[in-house]
């Protein structure tokens, strides 16, 4: 009995142990399944994807009269992914360019105000200009069309996954049929895994002796992409299968299919990965997914296996083979009939080349990002798929980059090599709108992301003088009259001022004093002593007030040297101040973001041009007129020597010890500011006229190409008189260098020049008649 | 003349009168404010394109799409900063938004761009009158409304404006 009982005990113990083990194993399995369940549901029920925000440049408007060559329309089309074709364009994203005609099929695009469904247009050309713009095929005349804006950046966390989310209801059945036909024909019948497919895959693998067929259902593919790594292990495969079953048990087929359509990787556009059928439809066919045709849908479905191998832009023949395989499969599954298949098979594969590399404007994008981060959290910016429309003119940016690069290289050939690299920056701004058209904050963003146009504080040197002269030319609040006119005689003579117990005597660049000169001459030749004298006369506080009115916010020291630009400013603010002068005294806030949309097409914010009259139009015009003289006769005459012949106003700037070289100048419609120097203030040993002016001229020549030349129109309240520049008096016929001078009405001179010859009786008559 | 031919003559005359009356109604000028301002003959292609954009923007405005309309006007301005049409449209938009100082800025711009073109003068004056009225400068508003009436004595808006800002 003992022995029997003794043998029973271990058996019972073994049984208990087995139960324990079983329970533990069950608990383990349950825990494992539970954790998989939580993983599956938590991701599937939250936001599925982090969709980066997309930053767009300004769209380009094509209109009758436009110079298509000057606006680089061909390059723009290639960057936008348009492909040249030899026959008439039949699909969005195609164009045909003959000498006298451009035909293009616009691509679909959703703008902040309206959505455009791509349509064919033609522009008849003569001498590179559009003479007629029509809609095809009905030849209806058009007044203008927009080319879609170029993407200049994505705002993302880890990788740039371009994704345009679609709802299943918006996806044409032909696309889902095509995808299901080749990826998972029994999708609506299985419960996540398909034993029949697995068996078939195993059989094929055994036959071919390698592991090629996965037999994965569409749900398994989704699980693999969504939750798991791409490694090929049995454990991963089992996990995938279990998760697929959980997914199917928990969610309906439509939700799974919709997620799959948005998840699949379908290629690459530059740095951006193309995910989902929405984005892919735009990339390969230039249209929304809703409008895909059977052959297009089949092509996309065929690419899923290997987006690179079957990419029609790289391997059109292989893409066609893959597409045809899908069409045949759809026919076999009776998703289409024989006629439809025949027609689809006859369609050529779109063969437009890969889009040319996009223009990047990293410093500009940083400014955009900074401004966006004031409105939206970083998380929203990198995951909510916002679409940000900016003021950047891609061609202006590209041209400005080229001009700066060439200009810096030319300077480097003239100066001794040092440890730190020569730096430079450019801002191009449209004064009337405040739109920043181009922005470069340094010579190499990869080297340093510090933006020298928006973050640096630099001494402006003589660029500050026009602000001081503007203060002198403005009407006094009390008397209603200005203290100076452009022909007021000022003294360019030794002048010693005492500040904080220290005396200081400003000197000129040429180490000479030029005696009594008109205010115009003093500015045109940038005489330091004269400028300090004028500022001392009107009071430095008045200069500061004018600078503040024009938008300078940095601390300005109320010292006599302020007028020579010794207080540091932010270059962007300086450009804004000059833009206000160029814009007849109206300050417009420099603007980079025009509108922000969410991924459903709702406009979240829209930036309107903000205008404020900070100086009267006529006072501002006086400065423009003086700055025109700088370019015609003064320190900026190199602009003319370099062949830029548009009406232009400008000013050179050089700081003490040649640390900063500046040039700012503007036509009526475009302003550019250029800075060249070293980050650590090493002397450049070149003036603004030598270093910055040539770059400015190159920039302006490029960005104004094709624009009609316009002149500065004097506003009401300005009177123009012919004066002798030396005396500032009305000129007589003998005055050799008479110029047209602008005055605030009522301040024009009444006396006649007596320094030059002339009929004496006329001179006498004028004196008698007053 | 037979009775028949007389009847035909009477009918013809009646028909002609009715036709002329109808034609008169049909071609009766719109209120001057609604008429598009013609483009200057020497307008640059950009200015012409901006003009058409402004017309598009006005249609958006009529549909109540104010934000979209202003964006279109701004697009026109960016395309052709010297477009008087774009500047006037933005001035009028500012007026609608009660940004009267902004409206005055655009009014001044238009004035600079068009010189003394009578086609524009009364429109600029009307814009200024309404903007000055908005900022409470009744004296300047009165003067501006009178300028409008000097060019267009039947201008209803200017007359109403003048009544509003008449000295008490």
A531 and A608 belong to one structural domain: yes
Residue-wise pLDDT for A57-92, tens only, equals 999 999 999 999 999 999 999 999 898 998 999 999
Q: Select from B45, B65, B81 the Cβ nearest to the Cβ of A432.
A: B81
Gap between the Cα atoms of A192 and A220, Å rounded: 7
Last residue in a domain, options B87, B115, B143? B115
B99 and B65 belong to one structural domain: yes
Residue of chain B with shortest Cα separation from A393:
B78
pLDDT at residue A755, rounded to an integer: 65
Residue B10 lies in a domain: no
Residue B22 lies in a domain: no
Gap between the Cα atoms of A673 and A38, Å rounded: 57
Q: Is B53 on the interface with A (CB under 8 A)?
A: yes
Residue-wise pLDDT for A712-725, tens only, equals 999 989 999 999 88
Contact list in A for residue B40 (CB cut-off 8 A) is none
Between A164 and B14, the more confident residue is A164
Q: Is A713 on the interface with B (CB under 8 A)?
A: yes
- In this prediction, residue B13 has a pLDDT band, given cuts at 50, 70 and 90, of low
Contact list in B for residue A129 (CB cut-off 8 A) is 45
Residue B131 lies in a domain: yes
Contact list in A for residue B65 (CB cut-off 8 A) is 113
Give the number of other Cβ atoms within 10 Å of residue A759's Cβ. 11
Residue B5 lies in a domain: no
B109 and B129 belong to one structural domain: no
Contact list in A for residue B135 (CB cut-off 8 A) is none
Q: Is A595 on the interface with B (CB under 8 A)?
A: yes
* C-beta separation of A265 from A279 below 8 A: no
Q: How far is the CA of A178 from the CAs of A296, A298, A330, A578, in angstroms? A: 10, 5, 6, 60
A508 and A586 belong to one structural domain: yes
Inter-chain touch B45–A609, beta carbons under 8 Å: no
- In this prediction, residue A6 has a pLDDT band, given cuts at 50, 70 and 90, of low
3-state secondary structure A22-85: HHHHHHHHHHHHHHHHHHHHHHHHCCCCCECEEEECCCEEECCCCECCCCCHHHHHHHCCCEEC
pLDDT at residue A487, rounded to an integer: 93
Q: How far is the CA of A510 from the CAs of A514, A523, A527, A528, in angstroms? A: 10, 15, 9, 10
Inter-chain touch B52–A143, beta carbons under 8 Å: yes
B89 and B130 belong to one structural domain: no
Residue A462 annotated in active site? yes
* C-beta separation of A679 from A660 below 8 A: no
Q: Mean pLDDT, to the nearest integer, of A651-667?
A: 95
- Tokens standing for residue A147: 């080319």
φ, ψ for residue A561, nearest 5 deg: -75, -5
Percent helix, strand, coil in chain B (nearest 5)?
75, 0, 25
Gap between the Cα atoms of A494 and A510, Å rounded: 13
Helices (H), A459-525: 465-473, 519-524
A636 and A500 belong to one structural domain: yes
Mean pLDDT computed over every residue of chain B: 84
Q: Is A342 on the interface with B (CB under 8 A)?
A: no
Inter-chain touch B68–A430, beta carbons under 8 Å: no
Residue of chain B with shortest Cα separation from A715:
B112
A35 and A71 belong to one structural domain: no
Which helix (H) or strand (E) segment holds residue A517: the answer is strand A515-518
Residue of A588, A591, A609 to mutate for B, most B C-beta atoms under 10 A? A609
B107 and B144 belong to one structural domain: no
**Bridge-partner residues for A767, per DSSP?**
none
> Residue A552: left (phi > 0), alpha (psi -120 to 50), or beta?
beta
Q: Select from A63, A66, A584 the Cβ nearest to the Cβ of B112.
A: A584
Residue A754 lies in a domain: yes
Contact list in A for residue B60 (CB cut-off 8 A) is 113
Q: Which of A383, A462, A488, A731 is catalytic?
A: A462
Residue A5 pLDDT more than 90?
A: no
Residue A296 lies in a domain: yes
End-to-end Cα spacing for chain B: 69
Helices A253-263 and A234-250: crossing angle in degrees, nearest 10, is 130
B107 and B126 belong to one structural domain: no
- In this prediction, residue A769 has a pLDDT band, given cuts at 50, 70 and 90, of low
Gap between the Cα atoms of A487 and A490, Å rounded: 9
Gap between the Cα atoms of A738 and A442, Å rounded: 43
B52 and B111 belong to one structural domain: yes
A220 and A187 belong to one structural domain: yes
- In this prediction, residue B7 has a pLDDT band, given cuts at 50, 70 and 90, of low
Query: How many angstroms separate the CA of residue A580 from the nearest CA in chain B?
Result: 12
Residue of B66, B75, B85 to mutate for A, most A C-beta atoms under 10 A? B75
Q: How far is the CA of B73 from the CAs of A7, A36, A545, B79, B80, in angstroms? A: 98, 55, 33, 10, 10
B103 and B132 belong to one structural domain: no
Contact list in B for residue A646 (CB cut-off 8 A) is none
Residue of chain A with shortest Cα separation from B104:
A613
Inter-chain touch B111–A716, beta carbons under 8 Å: yes
| Most confident segment among A618-622, A751-755, A758-762 | A618-622
Residue of B71, B100, B113 to mutate for A, most A C-beta atoms under 10 A? B71
Contact list in B for residue A65 (CB cut-off 8 A) is 44-46, 48-49
Residue with tokens 């020298």: A452
Query: How many angstroms separate the CA of residue A62 from the nearest CA in chain B?
Result: 9
Residue of B72, B78, B101 to mutate for A, most A C-beta atoms under 10 A? B78
Residue of chain A with shortest Cα separation from B70:
A608
**Bridge-partner residues for A606, per DSSP?**
A595
CATH number of the domain bearing residue B89: 1.25.40.10
Residue A333 pLDDT more than 90?
A: yes
pLDDT at residue A766, rounded to an integer: 52
pLDDT at residue A594, rounded to an integer: 96
A600 and A743 belong to one structural domain: no
Domain that holds residue B65: 46-115
Domain that holds residue A329: 161-346
Gap between the Cα atoms of B154 and B148, Å rounded: 9
Residue-wise pLDDT for A187-202, tens only, equals 998 888 888 877 877 7
A165 and A149 belong to one structural domain: no
Q: Is B96 on the interface with A (CB under 8 A)?
A: no
Residue A230 pLDDT more than 80?
A: no
Inter-chain touch B105–A613, beta carbons under 8 Å: yes
Q: Mean pLDDT, to the nearest integer, of A166-190?
A: 93
Question: Which sign does the torsion angle of CA B101, B59, A115, B84 carry?
Answer: negative
Question: Which sign does the torsion angle of CA B51, B55, B57, B58 carry?
Answer: positive
pLDDT at residue A770, rounded to an integer: 45
Question: Which sign does the torsion angle of CA A39, A44, A45, A48 carry?
Answer: positive
A61 and A32 belong to one structural domain: no
Query: How many angstroms separate the CA of residue B29 from the nearest CA in chain A?
Result: 25
Q: Is A716 on the interface with B (CB under 8 A)?
A: yes
Q: Is A598 on the interface with B (CB under 8 A)?
A: no
Residue A506 lies in a domain: yes
Last residue in a domain, options A650, A675, A703? A703
A738 and A758 belong to one structural domain: yes
Q: Select from B49, B72, B81 the Cβ nearest to the Cβ of A143.
A: B49
A679 and A763 belong to one structural domain: no
pLDDT at residue A701, rounded to an integer: 97
Query: How many angstroms separate the CA of residue A99 from the nearest CA in chain B?
Result: 21
CATH number of the domain bearing residue A276: 1.10.3810.10
Inter-chain touch B82–A608, beta carbons under 8 Å: no
Name the domain count of chain A.
5
Q: Is A586 on the interface with B (CB under 8 A)?
A: yes
Residue A354 pLDDT more than 60?
A: yes
Q: Select from B45, B72, B82 the Cβ nearest to the Cβ of A65.
A: B45
Residue of chain B with shortest Cα separation from A389:
B71
DSSP summary character for residue A682 = -
Q: Which of A94, A148, A183, A296 is catalytic?
A: A183
Of A34-48, A236-250, A694-708, minimum mean pLDDT range: A34-48
Residue B136 lies in a domain: yes
A27 and A92 belong to one structural domain: no
- In this prediction, residue B16 has a pLDDT band, given cuts at 50, 70 and 90, of low
The pLDDT > 70 percentage for chain A reads: 95
CATH number of the domain bearing residue A476: 3.40.710.10
- The DSSP code sequence of A739-770 is EEEEEETT-S--SBP-SS---HHHHHHHHHH-
pLDDT at residue A157, rounded to an integer: 74
Residue of B36, B39, B41, B46 to mutate for A, most A C-beta atoms under 10 A? B46
Mean pLDDT computed over every residue of chain A: 90
Name the domain count of chain B.
2
Residue A709 lies in a domain: no
Residue A503 lies in a domain: yes
Q: Within 13 A of A545's CA, how many CA atoms are on the CB side? A: 12
Residue A22 lies in a domain: yes
Residue B18 lies in a domain: no
Inter-chain touch A113–B71, beta carbons under 8 Å: yes
Helices (H), A286-434: 294-303, 316-332, 338-346, 362-375, 378-383, 394-412
- In this prediction, residue B32 has a pLDDT band, given cuts at 50, 70 and 90, of very low
Residue A365 lies in a domain: no
pLDDT at residue B29, rounded to an integer: 38
Residue A183 annotated in active site? yes
Residue A278 pLDDT more than 50?
A: yes
Residue B39 lies in a domain: no
Residue-wise pLDDT for B68-91, tens only, equals 999 999 999 999 999 999 999 999
Q: Mean pLDDT, to the nearest integer, of A21-31?
A: 89
Residue-wise pLDDT for A578-608, tens only, equals 999 999 999 999 999 999 999 888 999 999 9
């Amino acid at each position: 009995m003992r022995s029997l009982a003794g043998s029973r005990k271990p058996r019972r113990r073994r049984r208990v142990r087995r139960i324990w083990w079983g329970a533990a194993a069950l608990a383990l399995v349950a825990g494992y399944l539970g954790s998989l369940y939580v993983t599956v549901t938590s991701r599937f029920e939250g936001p599925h994807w982090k969709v980066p925000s997309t930053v767009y440049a300004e769209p380009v408007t094509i209109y009758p009269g436009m110079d298509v060559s000057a606006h680089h329309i061909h390059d723009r089309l290639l960057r936008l992914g348009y492909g040249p074709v030899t026959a008439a364009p039949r699909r969005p994203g195609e164009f045909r360019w003959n000498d006298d005609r451009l035909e293009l099929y616009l691509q679909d695009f959703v703008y902040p105000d309206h959505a455009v469904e791509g349509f064919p247009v033609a522009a008849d050309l003569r001498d590179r200009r559009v003479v007629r713009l029509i809609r095809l095929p009905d030849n209806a005349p058009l007044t203008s069309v927009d080319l879609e804006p170029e993407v200049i950046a994505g705002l993302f966390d880890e990788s740039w996954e371009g994704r345009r989310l679609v709802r299943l209801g918006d996806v044409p059945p032909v696309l889902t049929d095509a995808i299901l036909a080749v990826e998972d024909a029994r999708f609506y019948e299985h419960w996540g895994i398909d034993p029949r497919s697995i068996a078939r895959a195993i059989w094929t693998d055994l036959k071919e002796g390698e592991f090629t067929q996965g037999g994965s259902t569409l749900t398994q593919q989704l699980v693999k992409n969504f939750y798991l790594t791409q490694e090929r292990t049995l454990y991963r495969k089992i996990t995938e299968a279990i998760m697929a079953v959980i997914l199917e048990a928990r969610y309906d087929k439509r939700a799974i299919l919709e997620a799959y359509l948005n998840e699949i990787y379908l290629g690459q556009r530059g740095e951006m990965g193309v995910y989902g059928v929405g984005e892919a439809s735009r990339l390969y066919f230039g249209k929304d997914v809703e409008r895909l045709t059977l052959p297009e849908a089949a092509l996309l479905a065929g690419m899923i296996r290997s987006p690179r191998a079957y990419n029609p832009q790289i391997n059109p023949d292989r893409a066609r083979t893959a597409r045809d395989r899908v069409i045949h499969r759809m026919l076999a599954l009776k998703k289409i009939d024989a006629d439809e298949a025949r027609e689809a098979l006859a369609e050529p594969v779109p063969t437009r080349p890969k889009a040319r590399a996009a223009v990047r404007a990293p410093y500009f994008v940083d400014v955009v990002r900074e401004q966006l981060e004031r409105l939206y959290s970083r998380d929203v910016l990198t995951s909510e798929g916002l679409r940000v429309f900016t003021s950047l003119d891609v061609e202006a940016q590209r041209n400005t980059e080229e001009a700066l690069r060439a200009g810096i290289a030319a300077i480097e050939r003239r100066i001794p090599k040092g440890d730190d690299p020569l730096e430079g920056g450019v801002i191009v701004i449209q004064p009337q709108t405040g739109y920043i058209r181009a922005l470069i904050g340094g010579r190499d963003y990869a080297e340093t992301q510090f933006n020298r146009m928006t973050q640096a504080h630099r001494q402006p040197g003589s660029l500050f003088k026009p602000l001081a002269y503007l203060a002198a030319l403005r009407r006094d609040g009390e008397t209603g009259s200005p203290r100076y006119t452009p022909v007021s005689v000022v003294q360019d003579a030794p002048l010693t001022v005492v500040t904080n117990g220290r005396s200081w005597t400003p000197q000129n660049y040429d180490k000479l004093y030029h005696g009594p000169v008109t205010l115009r001459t003093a500015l045109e030749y940038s005489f330091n002593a004269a400028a300090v004298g004028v500022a001392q006369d009107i009071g430095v506080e008045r200069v500061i007030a004018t600078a503040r009115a024009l938008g300078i916010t940095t601390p300005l020291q109320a010292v006599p040297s302020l007028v020579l630009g010794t207080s540091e400013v932010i270059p962007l603010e300086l450009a804004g101040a000059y833009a206000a002068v160029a814009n007849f005294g109206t300050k417009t806030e420099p603007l980079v973001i025009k509108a922000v949309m969410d991924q459903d097409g709702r406009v979240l914010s829209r930036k309107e041009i903000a205008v404020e009259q900070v100086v009267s139009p006529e006072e501002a015009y006086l400065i423009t007129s003086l700055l025109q003289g700088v370019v015609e006769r003064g320190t900026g005459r190199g602009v003319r020597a370099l062949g830029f012949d548009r009406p232009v106003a400008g000013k050179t700037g050089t700081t003490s010890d040649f640390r900063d070289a500046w040039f700012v100048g503007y036509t009526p419609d475009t302003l550019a500011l250029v800075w060249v120097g070293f980050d650590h203030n090493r002397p450049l040993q070149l003036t603004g006229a030598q270093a910055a002016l040539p770059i400015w001229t190159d920039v302006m020549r490029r960005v104004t190409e094709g624009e009609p030349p316009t002149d500065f129109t004097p506003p009401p309240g300005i009177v123009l008189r012919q004066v002798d520049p030396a005396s500032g008096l009305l000129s007589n016929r003998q005055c050799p260098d008479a110029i047209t001078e602008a005055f605030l009405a009522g301040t024009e001179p009444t006396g006649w020049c007596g320094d030059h010859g002339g009929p004496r009786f006329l001179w006498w008559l004028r004196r008698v008649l007053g | 003349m037979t009775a028949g031919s007389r009847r035909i003559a009477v009918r013809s005359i009646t028909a002609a009168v009715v036709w002329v009356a109808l034609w008169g109604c049909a071609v009766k000028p719109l209120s001057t404010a609604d008429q598009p301002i013609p483009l200057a003959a020497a307008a640059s292609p950009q200015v012409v394109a901006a003009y058409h954009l402004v017309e598009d923007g006005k249609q958006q405005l009529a549909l109540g799409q104010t934000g979209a309309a202003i964006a279109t006007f701004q697009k026109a301005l960016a395309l052709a900063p010297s477009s008087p049409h774009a500047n006037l449209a933005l001035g009028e938009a500012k007026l609608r938004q009660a940004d009267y100082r902004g409206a005055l800025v655009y009014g001044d711009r238009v004035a600079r761009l068009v010189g003394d073109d009578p086609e524009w003068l009364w429109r600029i004056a009307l814009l200024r009158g309404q903007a000055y009225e908005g900022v409470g400068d009744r004296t300047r508003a009165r003067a501006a409304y009178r300028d409008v009436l000097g060019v267009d004595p039947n201008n209803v808006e200017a007359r109403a404006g003048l009544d509003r800002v008449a000295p008490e």
